[in-house]
Chains A and B, each alone.
Chain A
Amino acid sequence: MSRHTILRFLQSYAVLIMIAVLMVALGFLSDSFFTLRNLINILNQNAPLAIMASAMTLVIIAGGFDLSVGSIFAMGAVSSAWLALNVDPYFGLLMAPVIGLALGTVNGVVITTLKVHSFLATIATSLIFKGIAIVLSDGKLIPVRMDEFTWLGRGKIGEVFIAVWVMIAFAAILTFALNKTVFGRKVYSVGGNEEAAILSGIRTNRIKIATFALAGLAAGLASAIAVSRISMGQASAGTGMELQAIAAVILGGTSIYGGVGAVWRSIAGVLLLALINNGFNILNADPFYRDLTTGLVILAAIGISAGGRK
């Protein structure tokens, strides 16, 4: 292999390499790291974020940004808890993704009809959605202690949590959609060159709306899992998750300029962030250094993938 191909390889798989390095290091430093329980726990804890990052991948590939998924998460959390208490627990869990889908569609329609950058539009809708969640919950916690509600976040099928299965299924469906379907092709084309996509007869606005709708759906689904797990709905849920999701997508190597990327990359990005956290926990390291370390790792990953590119 020439130096150039090695560099290309490193750039493409930077995130996997860093995960491998981190896993080996943590395995040496702690006996408890390579236990099935620890690994499943990492996945389980991060399933909601991984679901959101998977859908965020499509938004970013199509050339957009969604800063409102944290607030859609809050809306999902509050409304599913409220519906579970006042209507039916199963209905509550079901409605979180439905509401997410609706709010995501609103995002897409606002962006394409007003022709504003998604960055700006979703900052605005983010505040609106969060505001509605606060009003709906009256600023209070909504506890839901029913087995019919908590199974989604706490139950297991075999050794593995239901939440992990949901995440795997969701990521697999999106991967299939991106790689094998007409919709996937159109998503890549919209982010790669919108004018050429339009001239190819693609209704690019519809594709953009669909990616935001999916991001909303994912945030709703993630909130259902999280609320069910902690058996509590509140408007402050999901705060900051939009930035974590975007960080994971970019960390995985999906291009911030659109047109290039993959769902597995974002899952890997989530895992990398999760491993850093997990390392601090099992090593009993000073948590004051956590943000600093995370920031440095993100910077390193970005540096590797940008290195040599002109």
Chain B
Amino acid sequence: MTITSAGAPAIRAKDIGVSFSGVSVLRNVTLDILAGEIHGLVGENGAGKSTLGKVLGGYYSASQGELEVFGEKATGWDPHTALAHGVAIMHQELQLVPALTVAQNVFLGIEDHRWGVLRSTEADRLENLMRSSGFSLDPHAVVADLPIADQQKIEILRALARDARVIVMDEPTSSLSKGEVDQLHDAMRKLRAEGRSVVYVSHFLDDILAVTDRITVLRDGEQVATFKTGETEKTDLISAMLGSGKTETPYPPKAVPVRREIVLEAKGIRSAEGAQGASLSIARGEIVGLIGLVGSGRSEIARAIIGADAAVDGEVILEGAPYATRSLAASTDRGLVMVPEDRRKQGLIMTMPVRANMSLPHLKRFSRNGVVNGKAESKRAAELIDHFAVRPAILDGDVSNYSGGNQQKVLIGKWLMENPKIVVLDEPSRGVDVGARQRIHEAICELATSGTAILLISSEIDEVLGLAHRAYLVDSGRIVAEIDPDENDEASVLAALFHYQGAGKMEQPHV
């Protein structure tokens, strides 16, 4: 086992850029990952930190620039080659085989065999590996039975079994408790002590500050700065993440709601999926934002209110009357709808034309004795296509061939077909082009002006501040604060979120 002396670069990235179908997501990134270093990658959602991690690990290929790994130019860089050169990646979703044991997973693909017949040396090999690395796990335990922290150790052991000298960890702590995070940090320090490097991708700034040697901040696909951790404060990172002088499309002016007539109130909503006692209220004509970090339970709170997930506790009051047994069909009937965040998986049916997609939740209205009234349906669908400027503007267009922005317009149109009173919009402008984004923003404001109550969920803080009249901050499935969007900027909101994030984490039970 040869380990490069500490301080020499393990990976040198020069001018790395990545584009997905013509859209540039990472530009001109130049950085060194030193041997024996824990290097943090931080940035807002969509800043490109995970993308960069995946480029280093060979999962994405860079469309420009070059990588040099241990002094050798990396060519044909894919996960297999990366591993052969000592670079391993630990994904956010762990890539283990749940039904196999710890030892079988660690040596998956590099089993000890003679003529294809396995030799039962795995447990011994694992014992050796664990002794030298300081991790301890039961080699015969089945992976599915282990907590996530242990599963991550298996991933690390797996990388070590292949003599990985650089391990990229993509958001490894997102489902860990505080105690488990500490364990993982200890593991990273052990790797560093052996002269190995860790690339630590995370949106938990405290975690990054606790363990790294250097931190690279990314914003909108560009490298902002690389800090030495010892000389850096959290506020430095936040201001680097946000930058100054944003060039955003302007938001439409906010119309003040006419009357403060509460149409939806939720009290102490809990669900098995992640709502932990959330309470909120929305008035007619009001746009209310939900802001939280990834995994904070924003969508889960909305899903429990609307009846997409079963709530185990709490109550919903809809237009002054309790709404107890909630279902999606009943909510749609009562004018309470939710535009889901993932248009491909949860929103549209790609095998169905535009018109049929739009009317799907409203077939009761557009039918008589079970037979669809094609005329009424077409008329309303055409209005919506026109209203949102969907292109191509074809009633029976093949939605699977539409651009992301136009698919999103169809999806929002689908849920506005019956003029709902309350609309939950979950990431309404995710992955859409500038034009569609602007049209969607205008439509949201028009809806509010016409008296519709809107709950706006977005991981773009900027978007919520630009559109909402009021906003709630969400952490660990609860509402932790209410803010006035006009008196806050992205930096203060982000600082508040990181503040509550620490607090929420401490309260989580140690698994």
Contact = CB atoms under 8 A, between A and B. Distances in A.
Contact of A199 (B346, B352, B371): B346
Given A180-B372, A182-B363, A259-B351, A198 B345 contact: no
B350 interface: yes
Interface in B165-199: none
A293 interface: no
24 contacts: A181-B370, A183-B370, A185-B360, A185-B363, A185-B372, A186-B363, A188-B349, A188-B351, A188-B356, A189-B349, A189-B352, A189-B356, A191-B351, A192-B349, A192-B350, A192-B352, A197-B360, A199-B308, A199-B338, A199-B347, A200-B361, A201-B361, A202-B361, A258-B351
Contacts of A96: none
Contacts of A281: none
B340 interface: yes
* Chain B interface residue number, banded: 20 to 34
A260 B398 CA distance: 12
Contacts of B360: 185, 189, 196-197, 200, 202
Contact of A201 (B332, B346, B372): B332
Interface in A154-200: 180-186, 188-189, 191-193, 195-200
Contacts of A201: 327-329, 331-332, 361
A199 B308 CA distance: 7
Interface in B100-145: none
A188 to B, nearest CB: 6
B348 interface: yes
* Chain A interface residue number, banded: 20 to 34
Interface in A196-217: 196-203
A196 B328 contact: no
A195 B332 CA distance: 16
Contacts of B356: 185, 188-189
Contacts of A203: 329
Given A182-B364, A188-B352, 18 more contacts: A180-B372, A181-B371, A181-B372, A188-B349, A193-B345, A195-B345, A196-B345, A196-B347, A196-B348, A196-B360, A199-B346, A201-B327, A201-B329, A201-B361, A202-B329, A203-B329, A258-B351, A259-B351
Interface of B: 308, 327-329, 331-332, 338, 340, 345-352, 356, 359-361, 363-364, 367, 370-372, 374
A182 B346 contact: no
Contacts of B374: 180
Give the most central of B308, B329, B347, B351: most A CB within 10 Å: B351
A197 B329 CA distance: 11
B328 A200 contact: yes
Interface of A: 180-186, 188-189, 191-193, 195-203, 255, 258-260
A237 B61 CA distance: 58
Nearest to B366: A182
A198 to B, nearest CB: 7
Given A185-B356, A188-B356, A201-B332, A193 B372 contact: no
Contacts of A189: 349, 352, 356, 360
A188 B364 CA distance: 16
A196 B410 CA distance: 14
Nearest to A255: B351
A265 to B, nearest CB: 15
B349 A182 contact: no
Contacts of B331: 201
A203 B356 CA distance: 17
Contacts of B340: 196, 199
Nearest to B347: A196
Given A199-B308, A199-B328, A192 B351 contact: yes
B161 to A, nearest CB: 35
